[in-house]
Structure 1
Amino acid sequence: MTTRLQLTEWSTTPGVRLTPPQRDLLRTVFTATVQPSPGTNDLFDVTPGNIIGAGTVDGLAIVIRPKIPISRVLFLLGYATDPDHWRDGEAAIDDHVDVVDVVDAVATLYLRTIRRTIGRGLLAGYHEVRDTQPTVRGRIDLAEQLKRRPGLSAPLALEYCQHDHDIPENQLLLSAALLLARLPLRDTATRRELRRLTDSFPDVTPLQPHRSRIPSITWTRLNGYYRPAVELARLLLSGASPELGAGNASTDLLRIDLTVVFEDFIRAALREAAHLSPEEFPDGDHCAPLRLDVKGRVRLKPDLSWHHHGTWRFVGDVKYKRDTGPGANPDLYQLHAYATATGLDDAWLIYAFGPPEARTHQVIDEGPRLHVRHIDLAASPNDILTSMSLLAAELLPTDGASTLSA
């Protein structure tokens, strides 16, 4: 029999009885703080961090909710993967969804996204197949043939291209649906719909849910309509892991890092407001080369950047945490490094939580201006998007200047 433990992001739940694999799941996968309860030998105080989701191990279904409304998490996820759909006003999520478990809520969002995608037809494409057959098709893999069947003429080791639905895009969509169906869902109708959805991919091979095996996709005009669903599937699968540490326990996981979700949303909203492409306004891993030191040994990867025709136009950083005031030195030091490396007079720091007042720090000796802003995630989705449009108008240059005015 499976019991259920429900936790909340950044809130401590005292006196929880846990087995070693359950503690390992909380510590290593969800990065929760697990400490012995005072005066006990077998109970623990558990404080999750900014990773939400669910997993079952040793008969315990562990569910971690966000501290913000679940509807806001779904909004951030949905907008970051498909801004056009949200801009058209078709994907509003009401606050009543907060009565639903976080796993059911994410499954509902995924079902909605994937139905809209495959409603246009299942994507087909060419992929390479390695197989053994009695007759020649494509070309013979001589190395494989000689290794496995030296001196034998049949069956033949072959390599050939095949055109069907068993392509990475569909494999990702199917794998995410299978993962969600195995999680501790409360709504039986959602579970049934996920299982029906998997029947839509009869000839597709699911992937193993391990981060290193999640394929990246090259987007073109032919498969572009798949992008929102596939990016959401990749996000869900990137948090899945079939093994827990060195033990024998295993589980299926929904693991969502709200730091990544918030950062993706801010970047997507600024892109949309400024009409910039992902190539023009990339994430840190794909930004233009940026070094802090003369010899180029210290690589910088700002969360937000715009490098246009060899000139830095904008740089910024995103923090999914509360701004505790003007003395948040490590965050400002990091922002100062970005401003120094890019040569910009202004750099911007966006927090998820904090006082409504905007702040600007003028660095001494005519250094750069470090601007601090906050996004109210308790506001409605429309209000959040309005605030992002106003923020983009303030942050991003609209003329040929390479810096912003104070």
Structure 2
Amino acid sequence: MRTLRLREWSTTKGLALTALERDTLRAVLRATIQPTAGSAARYDITPGNTIGAVRVGDTTLLVEPKIPISRVLFLLGYAADPSAWRHDDATLAVAADLVSGVAALFTTLCDRALRRGMLAGYHRVEADLPTVRGRINLAQQLRARPGLDLPLAVRFDEHDEDITENQLLLAAALKLRTLSLRGGATRRSLHRLVDSLQNVTALTYRPSAIPAVNWTRLNLHYRPAVELARLLLRMQSPDLAPGCTETPGLTIDMAALFETFVRAALRDRLHANPAEFPSGDNCPPLALDAHRRVRLKPDLSYWPRGQCAFIGDVKYKRDTGPGHSSDLYQLLAYATAAQLPAATLIYADGPPEPHAHLIPTAKVHLYVQHLDLTKPPKDLLEQVEHLGLHLTTPDTKGPNAA
């Protein structure tokens, strides 16, 4: 078994690749590939934001993160459920590799969720039975078997373990079990988890159609594990071509993960719900023009009582201090559309000092903030706490205003 090790945003030169390995790096791991100068069979490879491992035949293509693996695991766990990570980073021990670390994190959260026993609940069942149970589905009966008495199309509620929460856990466990994992303990934990969910239907989810779960006091102890499962299932590797089988692997879009983490952390800091602090796709309609043809979807927005009180953007890249011009133009568009006097841009790397730019014609302040993802979880959350204070009480006359 060959392992090809690459690093996020670092160029590796002169690698020999098969056509399938080259195409997988480009399509699944989103790497930039250029022919090596002076060679027709070797390539220079620069991965982008996508990290993880994908197996192609006897070769594992591995893109390691530029930040410590433990920080990636923290971002995943916190983005899934901030409340579960406020005082607990015991599952962030140093992992042998990213994939094994993710699997270990997931099985640990599942063990905690299942400690009180398997969650059961009611779910709707539609079936063809020889006797009446629940209600007869007349429309289905007449459509499928007009003029026949049996079997009967019926609809009823079943109380068992085959519910959405357990189906999500099983789907994520089966996905992780297909990967090459280092560490027998993690593999055994995954097998035990799958065995414990044997009465649950194994479903295949499309990354864009992962079901949400309504959290109540009855199932809240499942939340860290289930929300992490939902994150992992959204990160499924795409197929290389129509009709081919799914590429075995786990990939993580660090830009999407960073955005999800920042949103979850600020939402937690403000004690806001998802409707008050939505994702970009769920943001209330914003448009830049009078005819509302230029629609905008900011990464961050806060809508207490239905009114936009804050707007911002997240960039998973390094900034030297004042912010990139194109990012500031985008931020100004958000502030203009929301009719706010300020907006905030958050980078994943850069100097600790914030910057502020006054746009005099628009009378808008653009703030530039930076998070250091190499810091331990406690320090990183303190940085977000600082951001939350700035968010609620912006200083429009800061010393760095320009």
TM value normalised by structure 1: 0.91
Equivalent residue of 2:308, what SS?
strand
Unaligned residue ranges in structure 1 (runs of 5+): 398-402
Question: How many Å separate the matches in 1 of 2:158 and 2:243?
Answer: 40
Question: How many Å separate the matches in 2 of 1:365 and 1:150?
Answer: 72
2:73 equivalent to 1:68: no
2:159 equivalent to 1:138: no
User: Which deviations, in whole Å up to 9, do the C-alpha atoms of 1:144-169 show, x marking residues without a partner?
Assistant: 44555455433333332211111111
User: Which deviations, in whole Å up to 9, do the C-alpha atoms of 1:240-281 show, x marking residues without a partner?
Assistant: 147322363542221211111111211222222233333322
Unaligned residue ranges in structure 2 (runs of 5+): 398-402
Contact 1:50 1:259 in 2 (8 A): yes
Contact 1:219 1:227 in 2 (8 A): yes
Question: How many Å separate the matches in 2 of 1:17 and 1:249?
Answer: 25
User: Which deviations, in whole Å up to 9, do the C-alpha atoms of 1:78-115 show, x marking residues without a partner?
Assistant: 11222222212354624x33xx1110011111112111
261, 267, 275: which is aligned to 1:265? 261
Within-5 A mapping of 1:40-119: 40-89=39-88, 91=90, 93-94=92-93, 96-97=94-95, 100-119=96-115
Question: How many Å separate the matches in 1 of 2:362 and 2:293?
Answer: 26
Within-5 A mapping of 1:380-395: 380-395=376-391
Question: How many Å separate the matches in 2 of 1:91 and 1:275?
Answer: 25
2:203 equivalent to 1:207: yes
Aligned position for 1:400: none
Gap change, CA 1:154 and 1:32, over 3 Å in 2:
same
RMSD of aligned alpha carbons: 2.2
289-298 vs 231-240, greater mean Cα deviation? 289-298
Within-5 A mapping of 1:7-406: 7-89=6-88, 91=90, 93-94=92-93, 96-97=94-95, 100-149=96-145, 151-241=147-237, 243-246=239-242, 248-326=244-322, 328-365=324-361, 367-397=363-393, 405-406=396-397
Question: How many Å separate the matches in 2 of 1:174 and 1:90?
Answer: 24
Question: How many Å separate the matches in 2 of 1:327 and 1:375?
Answer: 13
Question: How many Å separate the matches in 2 of 1:282 and 1:193?
Answer: 35
Gap change, CA 1:129 and 1:152, over 3 Å in 2:
same
Equivalent residue of 1:205, what SS?
coil
321-330 vs 200-209, greater mean Cα deviation? 321-330
185-194 vs 248-257, greater mean Cα deviation? 248-257
Contact 1:85 1:91 in 2 (8 A): no
315-324 vs 331-340, greater mean Cα deviation? 315-324
Question: How many Å separate the matches in 2 of 1:213 and 1:252?
Answer: 20
Question: How many Å separate the matches in 2 of 1:309 and 1:404?
Answer: 23
Contact 1:9 1:64 in 2 (8 A): yes
Cα shift at 1:222: 3.1
Cα shift at 1:348: 0.6
Contact 2:342 2:364 in 1 (8 A): yes
Question: How many Å separate the matches in 2 of 1:304 and 1:185?
Answer: 36
Count of paired positions: 397
Question: How many Å separate the matches in 2 of 1:183 and 1:245?
Answer: 21
